[in-house]
Structure 1
């Protein structure tokens, strides 16, 4: 596939990727792009507004999800956000993912410190940066991060942030 060859031989910061492509599945292509170039941010750009599709994209490495009716202003803000290391959603997507489905988990109970750290993780900050901001050791921050992953039953930080957004525990 031509895009994969291009990404292998060039530094690419952001890829805007549709789900419905003529010759492949955009979600699978996102996963391939992230394998080849983990630092490339992939923003899914689609007409599909099903919550399950949005979640699947994020779980497969996407750094954001925008609907095709997103305004230029909102697109620009999302591009800036993803370049800052954040996971981004257009306003309509935020509304979709914030509506819990019938089979959502019960909200985990978080300590005040865990809530602070969750918010900073969602902003794309590293354990070292969080530790500096909160006057903690990086090891303490890592322990809180592990506890958050456990409480949310998340496999990684991306899934943790997605679940926290879904459950309205963090806002942008």
Structure 2
């Protein structure tokens, strides 16, 4: 069994101790690094033994979570980040997503949800709970000049980032439900994406959508 190496970055020692004890119960994880903040993490990271997943808080002294995630994206993009924080405001959530974090979770989440999120992030999947996707949907504007898609694909992408059902999208675009399904499958195949939220995230990362 391949052991997944975990790094903990949080300025609360008691919280880190609790997380370490929780992770120790599962043999597939090994906590190999702890840091008080981003500055401490940068000092402790060893290029030869990097963690697979970093569990990162957002509010920390010296170098906070957002700046830490940005530094990691530029220096060690292979490290997957799961944010674990008390902050659920749109500004913080969207900042961390722009920095490429794989998962975002609140500290009052259940152990089961945390375990699910950590496993998904470790497997290079995305884990965003409902409040995160809600922030994404409510803070989207599309710049048509930046899009590398045709106008109808961009229109479909924009509507996919709303709360409309696919049937309602078809009505809005004056096309059949089957045509909407075709647009969706074309974009899934073209962009190598498997879900509706994946379309939105792709557009954000490629500057088609600004949040």
TM-score by length of structure 2 reads 0.51
The residue that corresponds to 2:40 in the other structure is 2
Are 1:67 and 1:93, in contact at CA under 8 Å, matched by a contact in 2? no
Secondary structure, aligned partner of 2:104: strand
The residue that corresponds to 1:136 in the other structure is none
Choose 1 or 2 for highest CA Rg.
Answer: 2
Distance between the aligned counterparts of 2:113 and 2:184, measured in 1?
A: 31
Distance between the aligned counterparts of 2:65 and 2:109, measured in 1?
A: 19
Unaligned stretches of 5+ residues in structure 1 = 124-144, 167-172
Partner of residue 85 from structure 1, selected from 118, 121, 124:
124
Q: Deviations over 1:38-85 (max 9, x none)?
A: 111111211111123211101112112111111110011011111121
1:114 matched to 2:186: yes
Distance between the aligned counterparts of 2:190 and 2:95, measured in 1?
A: 21
The count of aligned residue pairs is 132
Indicate the structure whose relative CO is greater, using CA pairs within 8 Å and at least 6 residues apart. 1
More helix by share: 1
Are 2:69 and 2:99, in contact at CA under 8 Å, matched by a contact in 1? yes
Distance between the aligned counterparts of 1:62 and 1:155, measured in 2?
A: 11
Distance between the aligned counterparts of 1:112 and 1:41, measured in 2?
A: 28
Secondary structure, aligned partner of 2:46: helix
More strand by share: 2
Distance between the aligned counterparts of 2:191 and 2:114, measured in 1?
A: 22
Distance between the aligned counterparts of 2:191 and 2:86, measured in 1?
A: 29
Secondary structure, aligned partner of 2:138: coil
Are 1:7 and 1:33, in contact at CA under 8 Å, matched by a contact in 2? no
Distance between the aligned counterparts of 2:123 and 2:192, measured in 1?
A: 13
TM-score by length of structure 1 reads 0.61
Unaligned stretches of 5+ residues in structure 2 = 1-38, 144-153, 158-182
